[in-house]
Amino acid sequence: MKQLDLGNEKIGKLIKTFAIPCVISMIVAALYNIVDQIFIGWSEAGAYGNAATNIVYPFTVISLAFALLVGDGAAALFSLSLGAKDNKKANKSIGNGLIILVFISIILMSIGLIFDSKILRIFGGNPKEVECYHYAKTYLRIICYGLPFYIIGQGLNASIRNDGSPKYAMIATVVGAIANIILDPIFIFVFKMSVRGAAIATVIGQILTFLVSILYLRKTKGFKIDKESVKLDFKVCKSLLDLGLASLITQLAIVIIIAVANNLVGKFGYTTVASTGEVYGVVTPLAVIGICMKIFGIVISIVVGIALGGMPIIGFNMGAGNFKRVKETIKYILITNFIIGTIAFAIFQIFPDAIINIFGKRKFSRIYGICKILLKDIFRRNYFDLYYKNNFYFITINGLKF
């Protein structure tokens, strides 16, 4: 790939060059969980399996949050250092980031394996729902073994992209996702491994992404991994963690939203009756929340992918003191994402049922709006109801209408 001039090339051309592979990478990364949910939904595990993956999903997002904290921070510091022509610091930003990723991945894997039951309870798992809880625990434990590969692979992605190789970063993610898509139906349907098979397929895909990402370190453009670069430097570590903090907070906010929703379902969802007339307790609403969050994950992936595609441009020009180009880049990103949001809103309004029904044999209620879902016949107690009138959904709680 020809080295781009981040300080002079047209903003639109630069963002397209970096953002398109980045968006594809982000969407493909989101497909790991979505593909699992689709195949599990059509397996014998059905709604129970979908609910189980939703319970585990927040822990996966936490792992991604720390991967992005370090990975995005290291990549941003790398771009800033290149703009300031400080090659030694650029090397250290990536090298130190890699060491931190290794430590974090081992810590999170250990936490997941040691405190699996407590983690499941925090995120809405209920041992009383025996089948669902068993699926969730099986899925979590297998996923934990793959966390080092997942965290390091995702963390390196931003550095590869900011090094002027967005296509390689995309390929690294795509290779793993394709493996997951191929292996999911084989393990789930051919080998009859159900949720366990989906988890194994996911881990294999993550290992492949990790291997492709590590191979890049042998042919980097703007940085070099050597003994000096991997020696931990407190100032460098602090700088890259400060720069990646926004990515951490964004992902943790998603975790909080899912955790609160799952626990509310656990408290109020026991009388849920699906459209088929079968009683699922908390399983159906948990499955629906998981499906909807992962659908929204596609939109979020596009929006975040465009923003991350602008990171090398913003970082380089910030380091070079060219603040006019920084403002132009941010403006371009904001306008593009506004258009994407509008299109997504229209799609969810027009084709909600078709999207939801991809995830399994049971028909779930419609998605209402791009940011909010009101699910008919999902949450239903004596004092909690949802009904449709005059083209609007209404919620009543103890007779009060919202």
Domain boundaries along the sequence of the chain? 11-368
What's the confidence (pLDDT) of residue 293?
A: 75
How sure is the predictor about 372, in pLDDT bands with cuts at 50, 70 and 90?
A: very low
Per-residue pLDDT band for 319 (boundaries 50, 70, 90) equals: confident
| Contact assessment for residue 283 and residue 132, using Cβ atoms and an 8 Å cutoff | yes
Tens of pLDDT along 55-101?
998 999 999 999 999 999 999 999 899 888 999 999 999 999 999 99
* Under 8 Å between Cβ of 97 and 155: yes
pLDDT at 388 over 50: no
Mean pLDDT throughout 111-135? Answer: 92
More confident call, 108 vs 258? 108
- pLDDT(247) > 60: yes
pLDDT at 364 (0 to 100): 40
Supply the pLDDT for residue 143.
Answer: 96
273 in Cβ contact with 377 (< 8 Å): yes
| Predicted pLDDT at 359 | 66
Q: Which of 227-231, 316-320, 356-360, 372-376 has the lowest mean pLDDT?
A: 372-376
Q: What is the structure's pLDDT at 382?
A: 35
Per-residue confidence (pLDDT) for residue 284, from 0 to 100: 63
- Mean per-residue pLDDT for 173-199? 93
Q: Which residue has the higher pLDDT, 302 or 284?
A: 302
- Higher-confidence residue: 232 or 301? 232
* Residue 396 banded pLDDT, cuts 50, 70, 90: very low
Q: What is the pLDDT of residue 357?
A: 67
**Confidence band for 366, pLDDT divided at 50, 70 and 90:** very low
Distance CA 182, CA 34 (A): 14
Q: Can you name the residues that pair with 400 across neighbouring β-strands? A: 397
- Identify the residue with better confidence: 105 or 47: 105
Predicted confidence at residue 268, as pLDDT, reads 66
Residue 379 confidence (pLDDT) above 90: no
Dump pLDDT digits (tens) for 286-299.
776 777 777 777 88
Q: Residue 380: what pLDDT? A: 34
Please report the pLDDT score of residue 269 as a whole number: 56
Mean pLDDT of the chain: 81
Tokens at residue 397, please? 């709680």
Q: Residue 351: is its pLDDT beyond 50? A: yes
Q: What is the secondary structure of 302-354 as a DSSP string?
A: HHHHHHHHTHHHHHHHHHHT-HHHHHHHHHHHHHHHHHHHHHHHHHHHHSHHH
Residue-level pLDDT at 92: 97
Q: How confident is the model at residue 376 (pLDDT cuts 50, 70, 90)?
A: very low
Residue 274 has pLDDT above 60, yes or no: no
The answer, yes or no, to whether residue 231 has pLDDT greater than 80, is yes
Q: What is the pLDDT, as a whole number, of residue 129? A: 81
| Percentage of the chain modeled with pLDDT above 70 | 81
The H or E element containing residue 127 is: none
Q: Which residues pair with 393 in a beta bridge?
A: 388
Range picked from 69-83, 249-263, 302-316 for highest mean pLDDT? 69-83
Instruction: Please state the rounded mean pLDDT for residues 39-52.
Output: 81
Whether 365 shows a pLDDT value over 60: the answer reads no
Q: Report the predicted TM-score, pTM, of the whole model to 2 decimal places.
A: 0.78
Token couple for 351: 């084709």
Identify the band that residue 282 occupies on the pLDDT scale cut at 50, 70 and 90. low
Name the percent of the chain in helix, strand, coil, to the closest 5: 75, 5, 20
d(CA 151, CA 155): 6
Mean of pLDDT values over 191-212 = 95
